[in-house]
Amino acid sequence: MKKKLFRRAAEAPAELLEKTIEITEDIGHKLETKTSRVFEKPKKYWNTLGPGLTTGAADDDPSGIATYSQTGAQYGFGLLWLAAFTFPLMAVIQEMCARIGLVTGRGLATNIRMHFPRKVLYISTLLLFAANTFNIGADLGVMASTLQLLSPGINFIFLIVGITIALLCLQIFMPYNQYAKYLKWLSLVLFAYVASALLANLDWGNVLKHAIVPSLAFNKDQLLLICAILGTTISPYLFFWQTSQEVENEISQGLTTIFQRKGTNKEEIKNMRTDIWSGMFFSNLVMFFIIAACGAILFPHGITDIDSATTAAKALRPFAGDWAYFLFTIGILGTGMLAIPVLAGSSSYAIAESFKWHEGLNKKLKSAYAFYGIIIISMVIGVCINFIGLNPIKVLIYSAVANGVVAPLVLLPIVIISSNKKVMGEWVNKPLTTVVGWIVVVIMALAGTAAIISLFS
């Protein structure tokens, strides 16, 4: 009897240890399952994002940052409401462009060429190239100046040429799948502007009030600035880029012929909408925080003359501190790396499709000389713009006016094609979508006309 008791006593710790291990493993397995479920939805959401996110992020290029900075510096929180106002307008138009690409399997310029007179396409493409080239020039100049802030001893010419060569190499020699991932991850740099605004100790009650309640002064300067904001948010280059990137994505999945790409399904449309509305929300969120930061810091101190994003970064430093300055500066460089390829690429897609040339970032240089040639030419002209003595703010104004003129010309075909059941089938616009589309056409036509009148009056 005593031997049995001793044996049981000796075996008890081993049984207890075995049971403890079993329970621990079971708890670990359950925790691992729950953890994977927690991260499963964000991962799935991130994988859904693509062309819409990069298009929205590219909209906040250094030229756009300068426009938003000037808005906050000159009018405080007075024009914050424009961020909420332009969001649904942008999203509806970009969704139309994406649907056209998914349903037809073709780029926007090809669709316009097939359904409209060639003159409409050629005029739109020429103006698009001009507007994009001005934007590229302004963005390259701002990026080089920003790098000089971080490293004052480096020559401006060396910096701008180096940036241009680096961006050209990425576009021409990096495989499309890697390039698309690079653009997607680079879009996250825009959170630097959210962080810089939060460091400004905003009066949130006042901010939210002006974000909801519109206010207008109806003077020439404000009118021109609003036109510039509309021109830099609802920009024609985004329309061409969005449509072409939907097509590029399908090609990267092995759908190399038009017959394979033509048509879509509910899952693709659902994922596309998630991507588009997320990307446009992100774009306008950044716009909101840039205006808010400059409205909270620069406007109260009477610093209203902001001619570039670099000027805005320098002006913020004495009042917001080194961290806000550093984040704003990093944001300029990151957005330039993201936006300039989109600007050059959208021009190239439009021109190549207009003349039926081989096109696409999925192609190697030897297979699409003309397509990559247009990218190189627009970048070289952009560099040259920085050495002909144009004032940075004038470059932005010219670009905004060009965008204001070309936007209605391109928006008309977009709304008409996406509303055509023969072309779009079951994915034709809903009536409300068409109405919003026509409202955007009217708004952009009025903005373009107002910008021209303000510029030359």
Per residue in 326-357, pLDDT (tens digit) is: 777 888 888 888 889 999 999 999 999 999 99
**Is 37 inside a domain boundary?**
no
**Is 27 inside a domain boundary?**
no
pLDDT above 60 (res 444): yes
Q: How far apart are CA 165 and CA 385, in angstroms?
A: 16
Residues 6+ apart with CB under 8 A from 33: none
Residues 6+ apart with CB under 8 A from 47: none
> 234: which DSSP letter?
S
**Is 240 inside a domain boundary?**
yes
Give 178-205 pLDDT, tens digit per residue.
Answer: 888 888 888 888 888 788 777 777 788 8
pLDDT above 80 (res 6): no
- The tokens describing 40, both together, are 């499963």
Of 373, 350, 211, 405, the C-alpha closest to 292 is 211
> 253: which DSSP letter?
T
Give the pLDDT band (50/70/90) at residue 30.
low
**Is 63 inside a domain boundary?**
yes
Give the pLDDT band (50/70/90) at residue 256.
confident
For 121, the 3-state DSSP assignment is: helix
CATH number for the domain that contains residue 269? 1.20.1740.10
Burial of 55 (C-beta count, 10 Å sphere; 0-12/13-18/19+): buried
**Is 51 inside a domain boundary?**
no
Q: How far apart are CA 116 and CA 243, in angstroms?
A: 17
Q: How far apart are CA 412 and CA 381, in angstroms?
A: 29
Distance set, CA 456 to CA 224, 344, 398 (Å) = 11, 28, 11
Cβ proximity of 72 and 203 under 8 Å: no
pLDDT at 154: 86
Q: Which domain holds residue 220?
A: 57-456
pLDDT above 90 (res 390): no
Q: Lowest-confidence range among 85-89, 302-306, 370-374? A: 302-306
Q: Higher model confidence: residue 326 or residue 425?
A: 425
Q: What percent of the chain has pLDDT over 90?
A: 35
Number of domains in the chain: 1
Give the pLDDT band (50/70/90) at residue 5.
very low
Burial of 48 (C-beta count, 10 Å sphere; 0-12/13-18/19+): middle
pLDDT at 227: 81
pLDDT above 90 (res 97): yes
pLDDT at 271: 93
Q: How far, rounded to the nearest angstrom, does the alpha carbon of residue 297 sit from its chain's CA centroid?
A: 25
pLDDT above 70 (res 145): yes
Q: What mean pLDDT comes out for the span 291-308?
A: 82
**Is 1 inside a domain boundary?**
no
Q: Which amino acid is at 346?
A: S
pLDDT above 80 (res 311): no
Give the pLDDT band (50/70/90) at residue 73.
confident
* Model pTM score: 0.86
Q: What mean pLDDT comes out for the span 11-23?
A: 61
Distance set, CA 245 to CA 135, 144, 180, 238, 425 (Å) = 20, 28, 9, 10, 21
Q: What mean pLDDT comes out for the span 259-276?
A: 91
pLDDT at 399: 72
Query: What length is written for the chain?
Result: 457
**Is 13 inside a domain boundary?**
no
pLDDT above 60 (res 1): no
pLDDT above 50 (res 443): yes
**Is 31 inside a domain boundary?**
no
DSSP secondary structure, 53-104, as one string:
HHHHHHHS-HHHHHHHHHHHHHHTTTTTHHHHHHHHHHHHHHHHHHHHHHHH
pLDDT above 70 (res 21): no
Matching residue, tokens 């996250």: 188
Q: Lowest-confidence range among 158-167, 182-191, 228-237, 419-428? A: 182-191
